[in-house]
Copies of this chain bind each other. A is one copy, B any other.
Amino acid sequence: MGTHIDAPAHFYKGSWRTQQIPIERLMGPGVIINIKDKAVRDPDYRIVMDDVIAYEDKYGRIPDGSIIMMNSGWFERFPDKNAVFNTQNVSDTTTFHFPGFHEDAVEWLIFNRHIYAVGGDTPSFDYGQSQTFPVHILIGRENVIGIENAAYLDRIPESGSTIFIPVVKIDDGSGGPTRLMATYDDGTDSPANSAELPQIALTIILFTICFGFVRI
Q: Which residues does A use to contact B, with CB under 8 Å?
A: 2, 19, 23-24, 26-27, 162, 164, 166-171, 177-179, 181, 183, 185, 191, 194-195, 197-198, 200, 202-205, 208, 210
Contacts of A203 in B (CB 8 A): 23-24, 26-27
Cα A167 to Cα B24 in complex, Å, equals 19
Instruction: State the Cβ distance, A153 to closest chain B Cβ, in Å.
Output: 15
* A178: B residues at CB distance < 8 A: 166, 168, 179
Q: How many copies does the complex hold?
A: 2
- Whether B179 and A168, one on each chain, are in contact in the complex, defined by CB atoms closer than 8 angstroms, is yes
Cross-chain contact of A194 among B183, B185, B195 (Cβ < 8 A)? B195
Give the nearest-CB partner of A204 in chain B: B23
Q: Report how far A49 CA is from B37 CA in the complex, Å.
A: 57
A55 to B171, CA, bound (A): 36
Q: Is A195 within 8 A of B191, CB to CB? A: yes
Q: Which residue of B lies closest to A182 (CB)?
A: B23
